[in-house]
Structure formats: C-alpha cells, structure tokens
Amino acid sequence: MKINQAGIDLIKQFEGCKSTSYQDSVGVWTIGYGATGDDIVAGLTWTPEQIDDRLHQDLARFEEGVQNLLSNPDVNENQFSSLVCFSYNLGLQSLAKSHLLIYTNSGHYIAASLQFAKWDMAGGVVLPGLVKRRLAEKELYCS
C-alpha cells in the first residue's frame, strides 16, 4: 500500500518546505518537508529536486515501516495514509508503541481515531500546530 495524495498533501501542509536547514521546535536539524537525520546539519541548502527526492525516499521508508507494523488487512487507503503521516512526524517507534496501532490492528477504528489527539506535544508542551495536524490526520483516518 502507498500513501495517497491526501496524505502527501497533509504532510506538505503541516511540515512546510524550507530549502535551508533549521532547528525544529525541539532542536532537531530539519530541511525540506521535515526531513531529519544524521545527514541534516547546520548550513545545508537543497534544491527543489533534492527536496522532492528526499520526500519520496522518506515516504517509501515510512510506507514500508507502517506496512510492517500493520496486521489488519482491512485497513483502507485513508487509514494507511494517516498512519504514514503520523509516523512521518513522530517516527515509526511512536506508532509501534501506540494504542493507535493496537486499536487499528484490532479493527477498533473509532477508538483508534481518538488516539490521534493524545500526540499533540513536543518537548512536553502542547503545540497548536500539532493539535491541528492530529485533527487533520484523524479526519483523514475516518474518511
């Protein structure tokens, strides 16, 4: 399964796009559409092509990771896409240990959808942008 356009649009909307590296709200070096990693350092600048290439590489990694965590074959495209978006922002480890995944895998989709709102903090602080993002992910999941 692949992330759909609605999921990609959600990632792009909430991540924004910056061609020069910056530190996010918790001090992680970031560039492009929220790309992080050991290769992202201070003073880095990317072309639009590099930004798009990295987005596609990262999406493939998160698609595979979410697919590996799912045991429910009935998950639909929007549910899958919202889980990829969630993981893109928080990491696959966060999804792996979440009730969001447990409820999704057990087919309890309403209970799962209520879990998005619990992931609205960065650095121990509720961030309005994360509140909005989790609501958008929930809406995609439920559609």
CATH number at residue 50: 1.10.530.40
For 45, the domain range is 5-142
Buried b (16+ CB within 10 A) or exposed e, 101-128: bebbeeeebeebbebbeebbebeeeeee
Give the predicted TM-score (pTM) of the model.
Answer: 0.95
pLDDT under 50: residue ranges of the chain? none
Among 118, 38, 103, CA closest to 69? 103
CB 88 within 8 Å of CB 11: yes
Q: How many domains does the chain have?
A: 1
Q: Is 15 among the catalytic positions?
A: yes
Which residue of the set 15, 49, 137, 139 is catalytic?
15
Mean pLDDT computed over every residue of the chain: 97
Q: CA-to-CA distance for 52 and 47, rounded, in angstroms?
A: 9
